[in-house]
Amino acid sequence: MKRFFVIVVLLSHVLFASDITVAVAANVSYAIKPLVKAFHQAHPKSHLNVIVGSSGKLFAQISHGAPYMLFMSADMKYPKRLYAHGMTTTKPMVYAQGALAIFSQKKHNPSIKIETLANADIKKIAVANPKTAPYGVATKEALKNAKLYQTLKKKFVYGESIAQTLLYATSVADIGIVAKSSLFAPQMNKYHEAIHWSEIDKNLYTPIDQGIVILTRGKDNEEVKAFYDFMFSKKAKEILRAYGYEVP
């Protein structure tokens, strides 16, 4: 699938030249609508366009001049690289910490866990591509530490982003390793912890610190700064926690 990013217009207003554009890692796509809604309640004149994609692809687009004003990455690596190259106006800051989960549409008794991936009846496993998605890097690390990577890698179906990985886990694959946050989306309410999904032991992978930066195109833009500040507010933290994130 050669779809590099998806544009999500979250506000129904006609777009103006003063609109701000925010690049958002795919794992946050499930929480971004309530986040933008809460921000808009406090800033009713704001106009936000949200671009959703894998962190690696968004980073590449920013590096090649994409007109984004703020970047919410799934890790700290890409914001740090942009900062090092003078392409941001703020230092990278952690706005949330993500987690991995095993997910399957099928019910598992007594519970679903990482060892379930080795079951003989599981033929395809959806995972995020570590070349483009930080959650893919964490997935690879977790499986290696669990001594399962070499055994299972021939079964992998790679998603370009963690959002695409969830799509594959609910369609072409038997099971998948997804962002825990995705399982709190409204469309996932029919699936239940310990039956359809469980969080992967965090000791198996490096903490997924997610970073945010204001890009040079957002310099001196009051709306950009307001949304950046909002992401560290009590309300934003409440929303992020509700979607399974840990927040600083």
> Higher confidence at residue 19 or residue 61?
61
- pLDDT tens for 204-240 read 999 999 999 999 999 999 999 999 999 999 999 999 9
Q: How far apart are CA 90 and CA 85, in angstroms?
A: 12
Please state which of the four CATH numbers 3.40.190.10, 3.50.50.60, 3.40.50.970, 3.40.30.10 is assigned to the domain occupying 6-97+209-242: 3.40.190.10
Q: How far apart are CA 172 and CA 205, in angstroms?
A: 26
Helix (H/G/I), strand (E/B), else coil: 83? helix
Helix (H/G/I), strand (E/B), else coil: 84? helix
What pLDDT does 248 receive? 87
- pLDDT tens for 29-58 read 999 999 999 999 999 988 899 999 999 999
Confidence (pTM): 0.88
- State how far the alpha carbon of 83 is from the alpha carbons of 71, 78, 186, 214, in Å: 11, 9, 35, 10
CB atoms within 10 A of CB 120: 5
Q: What share of the chain is helix, strand, coil (3-state, %, to 5)?
A: 40, 25, 40
Q: How far apart are CA 136 and CA 152, in angstroms?
A: 14
**In the CATH hierarchy, which top-level class contains the domain 99-204?**
alpha beta
∠ CA 169-58-86, rounded to 5°: 150
Residue ranges, CATH 3.40.190.10, the chain: 6-97+209-242, 99-204
What pLDDT does 89 receive? 98
Could you write out the three-class secondary structure of 174-235?
A: CEEEEEHHHHHCHHHCCCCECCCEEECCHHHCCCEEEEEEEEHHHCCCHHHHHHHHHCCCHH
Residues 6+ apart with CB under 8 A from 16: 47
CB 86 within 8 A of CB 34: no
What pLDDT does 171 receive? 95
Amino acid letter at 7? I
